[in-house]
Amino acid sequence: MMKKTIYLFVFAIITISCDSLDSLLELNINNDLTENIAVSVSQTQGVAASFDLSETTDLNSGDLAEYRGKISAIKINKFTYKIKDFVGNNAGTIPSGTLKFDDVVVAELTDFNIFQAADAGTVFEITDANVLSSVENAFLNNNTTTVRLTGTVLSDAGTMDFNVEIFMNLNATIVD
């Protein structure tokens, strides 16, 4: 009788411990997010034109969709942007511009030659720990964030079309 009681007691402890361990299990998912902002600039005729473009990035789509509401932490491993698919006036510039995620300024553009950046394939990496932390928190709190590109552009010699590609590699910690 004593042996049965001990076995039942050990079995109960193991069962309770396994249930507790299940709730502590975490799953780390590595995910890539890429957003493109299409930019089309008319000939400016010597006067800088304003632009304000945006795109919403959503963690509830793609590979992370099945984990909606279970993401407990976000860690951005790599965060970059680049100009690609350029067509048009090679001398066009952004005299002043800002790339933001929600209200977080990610990059400032001053006298930025669009063609040169696209032609060289320049990849601009965001490494500021405060910026990365702010974007991680925005994703964690809202599961979405709005990417905004604002500023002025000059393209006196003709029109320009290009894309601004924003790329992030991140880890999402999932708890069940």
pLDDT at site 143? 78
Q: In which order are the strands placed within the sheet that holds 93-101?
A: 49-58, 144-154, 93-101, 104-113
> What are the tens digits of pLDDT across the range 112-136?
999 999 999 999 999 999 999 999 9
pLDDT band at 105 (very low <50, low <70, confident <90, very high): very high
Question: Which amino acid makes up residue 30?
Answer: N
pLDDT at site 71? 87
20 has a pLDDT exceeding 50: no
Q: How far apart (Å, rounded) are the C-alpha atoms in residues 41 and 154?
A: 9
CA dihedral sign of residues 140, 141, 147, 148 = negative
Q: Find tokens 């979405």 and name the residue.
A: 144
Average pLDDT value for the chain:
86
User: Where do the domains of the chain lie, and which CATH numbers do they carry?
Assistant: 27-175 (2.60.120)
